[in-house]
Amino acid sequence: DIQMTQSPSTLSAFVGDRVTITCRASQNIHSYLAWYQQKPGTAPKLLIYRASSLESGVPSRFSGSGSGTEFTLTISRLQPDDFATYYCQQFETYSFTFGPGTKVEIK
Amino acid sequence: QITLKESGPTLVKPTQTLTLTCTYSGFLLSTSAVGVGWIRQPPGEALEWLALIYGNDDKRYSPSLKSRLTITKDTSKNHVVLTMTNMDPVDTATYYCAHRHVGGETYFDYWGQGTLVTVSS
């Protein structure tokens, strides 16, 4: 099975900060990676697919990059609505593993 | 407009079988390009993919839970059903169904609201 890790597990930041979250895969997943945002008590929301494609309706301050085994999600200027937990998910194999999540907190 | 909604018991006893239904609308689950998946999330923990069914009735399961899971569909009712046998307290979680992006790649672009299932005697 492909294992996914994320760092950091928790991130404290100010509104307006540039924030970067890293996701690593245990083997090459090419660009078969998605990013989701989840707020407490709600379902995850798709942000990015195929590592760097922005889902329709998602603000352009979100961007994704990477390929192979290392990926990043960047929020260019953190907004109050962005405080949430972010998950990566690989879809290279028929075991669609999620990462453990990164919680973005208000500093 | 694509919507999905989970339904089923909120409480099950250890060793019982859990049956959850996902009622969907806004798409046809009728070709290999379309799919519905189940994902769960224990309280305070990460997401875990469980199973996926395609419109051509192809099915995929999490390797770690494969022996306990069955996913089926009833397109006449717009239902996707997940059964999980031999429930244990560690299976306490919010269970989500989600629409697989149409095409060759499996990520989930529409999600249900989730249903919390507690396993306790």
Mean pLDDT for A3-23 is 97
Q: How many helices and strands (H and E) does chain B possess?
A: 0, 11
Residue B60 to chain A, least CA–CA distance (Å): 7
Task: Give the model confidence (pLDDT) of B3-15 as tens digits.
Answer: 999 999 999 999 9
The count of residues in chain A is: 107
Q: State whether A89 and B46 contact (CB < 8 Å).
A: no
B85-118 exposure pattern, b = at least 16 Cβ within 10 A, e = fewer: eebeeebbbbbbbbbbbeeeebbbbbbbebbebe
pLDDT at B103 over 90: no
Would you place residue B1 in the very low, low, confident or very high pLDDT band (cuts 50, 70, 90)?
very high
Q: State whether B105 and A89 contact (CB < 8 Å).
A: no
Mean pLDDT for A25-41 is 96
Residue of A nearest to B4 (CA): A43
For residue B42, the chain A residues in CB contact (below 8 A) are: none
How far is residue B4's CA from residue B53's CA, in Å, rounded to a whole number?
14
DSSP string spanning B76-100? Answer: TTTEEEEEE-S--GGG-EEEEEEEE
pLDDT of residue A72: 98
Task: Give the model confidence (pLDDT) of A40-49 as tens digits.
Answer: 999 999 999 9
For residue B37, the chain A residues in CB contact (below 8 A) are: 96
Q: State whether A46 and B47 contact (CB < 8 Å).
A: no
**% of chain A surpassing 70 pLDDT:** 100
Say which residue the tokens 């995929």 belong to.
B60
Are A99 and A89 spatial neighbours (Cβ–Cβ below 8 Å)?
yes
Q: How many CB pairs under 8 A join A and B?
A: 58
Mean pLDDT for A60-66 is 98
pLDDT of residue A43: 98
pLDDT of residue A92: 84
Q: State whether A49 and B107 contact (CB < 8 Å).
A: yes
- Element (DSSP H or E) covering residue B28: none
Mean pLDDT for A73-89 is 97
Chain B interface disruption, residue of A89, A96, A98, A103, most B CBs within 10 A: A96
Mean pLDDT for A4-28 is 97
How far is residue A50's CA from residue B73's CA, in Å, rounded to a whole number?
28
Q: State whether B108 and A44 contact (CB < 8 Å).
A: yes
Q: State whether B47 and A43 contact (CB < 8 Å).
A: no
pLDDT of residue B14: 97
Task: Give the model confidence (pLDDT) of B14-37 as tens digits.
Answer: 999 999 999 999 999 998 889 999
Nearest to A7 by CA among A34, A32, A25, A30: A25
